[in-house]
Amino acid sequence: MVGEDPRRRIPGTDTLLENPRLREAAQELGRHVLQRIIHQAQDRARQGGLAPEQVESEVLDNLKAFRPSSMRAVINATGVVIHTNLGRAPLSAAARDAVTEAAGYVDVEMDLVTGRRSKRGTAARRALLEACPTAEDSLIVNNGAAALALATAALVGSGTVIISRGELVEIGAGFRLPELIESTGAQLLEVGTTNRTHLEDYAAAVEKIPDGAKACVLKVHPSNYRIAGFTSAVPTAQLAALSREHGLPLVVDVGSGLLAPEPILPEEPDLGSALSDGADLVIASGDKLLGGPQAGLLLGSTEVISQLAKHPLARAMRTDKLTLAAMEATLTSGATPVQRAVHADADQLRQRTQKFAEALGVELVPHEGRVGGGGGAEVPLPGWAVQLPEPAAAALRTQDQPIVTRTTGSWCLLDLRCVPEAEDATVLEAVRTVLEDLKQNPGPAPGGA
């Protein structure tokens, strides 16, 4: 006699959905998510990888383990402060609190005194102006590329953007600045060469612009690379004088969002200085050296900002309430995690890292951190790291609390520059556990075949 097919005992979806324990565990989940988890367990049972009687417990376990968002908080132990793959700037505590509060209903476009509609983002823009008083007005859009595209579209339209060949950069994920500008309908007029551009190059280009035609002069900080040796570039002040003489707006993209000069990064341009030197409009990212959320910052004259704000693309590129809340809090609170990491004292880093090395029985090595995110290209941030076996990198990344380190050669380097000191004990215990596991299950020796 042929036995019963065990697949007949697999509980049906409707039966499982009526289970009170499943309903309770899935209260915060969408029905489609719950059904997907159930179907996955049923499929395993049909394929023989799970007994029919285990389907219910498997579903319950998977419900408890389910996370609504696939993104996971990680500990950045790479020494790279603005790590693009890890979300660039970590928000300050004040900014995180502001995002939480803004997640509900908020007065983003309402005057609570009058009960009437108000302008969106007024407080964040005011905070930006207070932080950069050389600007007359400001506008915040959703990222740096959007800021440049809006500026080009509003100021030039189908006209001409005059730019040095040495500043036709490629930004993250393969997006090239020339293509971004041309996508708005503008025409590029390239001047100079890759390594040397002079004031007379810009002057000759300006002379080619027909009377009454729309055009602007654009200066872009290369950010993530440096050209050294036989080079020449035109300072903002000289370009501003030339642009004023011919009635053209000067747009300066400083990139990383410094509000004022930073002694640690002497070659990094800042918003305030560019405006003081005569730029009509300055553009920067909000989630780099400023240490805020992803945003495109535009600061300049009232006339130019007003022109941008009225352009149809301004609506398409506007920021949401969470970004506005985080940006305002970033600008009105104290030092950000980015600022603290960039200014981390090398001696204090050594003391912290030395404790790790002694506790783990590993070697302490010098390690130069980096700003990252296109800021402070090639500028080292002196520091220290503990040297671990290379397999530790993958093991640390795949824990319940992922820790991302740097691998170089046959070693894993753990740098505490970007790790809050309050998390030292957590990181130390995690590394100790990983090293113990590696001792029990050793892989190839560092440097081995």
77: nearest Cα among 437, 446, 430, 427: 427
Count CB atoms within 10 A of the CB of residue 366: 10
Distance of CA 230 to the CA centre of its chain: 33
For 407-411, the CB contacts below 8 A with 24+ separation are: 409/446, 409/447, 410/446, 410/447, 410/448, 411/387, 411/446
CATH code, 209: 3.40.640.10
How do 411-415 and 381-389 pair as beta strands?
A: antiparallel
Q: Domain end: 333, 359, 383, which one?
A: 333
The pLDDT tens digits for 377-428 are 888 999 999 999 999 999 999 998 999 999 998 899 999 999 999 999 999 9
Q: Are residues 367 and 314 in the same domain?
A: no
Q: Is residue 2 part of a domain?
A: no
CATH code, 424: 3.90.1150.110
Distance in angstroms (rounded) separating the CA atoms of residues 226 and 136: 32
Q: Are residues 177 and 233 in the same domain?
A: yes
Distance in angstroms (rounded) separating the CA atoms of residues 176 and 191: 17
How many Cα neighbours within 13 Å face the side chain of 10? 21
Distance in angstroms (rounded) separating the CA atoms of residues 377 and 371: 8
- Kindly give, in sequence order, each residue whose CB lies less than 8 Å from that of residue 399, ignoring residues fewer than 6 positions away: 430, 434
Q: Is the dihedral of CA 396, 398, 401, 402 positive or negative?
A: positive
Q: Are residues 202 and 241 in the same domain?
A: yes
H-assigned helices in 18-143: 20-25, 31-46, 55-65, 93-102, 122-131
Q: Is residue 70 part of a domain?
A: no
Radius of gyration from C-alpha coordinates of the chain: 27
Q: Are residues 265 and 127 in the same domain?
A: yes
Q: Is residue 61 part of a domain?
A: yes
CA angle 57-63-65, nearest 5°? Answer: 105
Q: Is residue 448 part of a domain?
A: no
Q: Are residues 247 and 116 in the same domain?
A: yes
For the packed helices 199-207 and 236-245, what is the interaxial angle rounded to 10 degrees? Answer: 20
How many domains, the chain?
3
365: nearest Cα among 341, 382, 348: 382
Q: Are residues 189 and 53 in the same domain?
A: no
Q: Which helix (H) or strand (E) holds 359?
A: helix 346-360
Q: Domain end: 312, 333, 354, which one?
A: 333
Confidence (pLDDT) at 449: 37
Q: Are residues 321 and 346 in the same domain?
A: no
The boundaries of the domain holding residue 396 are 75-82+340-440
Q: Are residues 177 and 289 in the same domain?
A: yes
Q: Are residues 254 and 351 in the same domain?
A: no
Q: Are residues 160 and 144 in the same domain?
A: yes
Q: Are residues 98 and 233 in the same domain?
A: yes
Q: Is residue 431 part of a domain?
A: yes
- Kindly give, in sequence order, each residue whose CB lies less than 8 Å from that of residue 29, ignoring residues fewer than 6 positions away: 63, 66, 68
Confidence (pLDDT) at 444: 57
Q: Do residues 320 and 286 lie in contact, with contact meaning Cβ atoms separated by under 8 Å?
A: no
Q: Are residues 172 and 266 in the same domain?
A: yes
Distance in angstroms (rounded) separating the CA atoms of residues 256 and 243: 24
Confidence (pLDDT) at 3: 63
Q: How far lies 285's CA from each of 33, 255, 371, in Å? A: 36, 6, 14
Confidence (pLDDT) at 443: 62
| Residues in the chain with pLDDT values less than 50 | 1, 446-449
Q: Is residue 45 part of a domain?
A: yes
Q: Is the dihedral of CA 114, 118, 121, 125 positive or negative?
A: negative
Whether this prediction's pTM lies above 0.75 is answered by yes
Q: Is residue 357 part of a domain?
A: yes
Q: Is residue 241 part of a domain?
A: yes
Q: Domain end: 333, 362, 381, which one?
A: 333
The pLDDT tens digits for 5-59 are 788 889 998 888 888 888 777 777 888 888 899 999 999 999 999 999 999 999 9
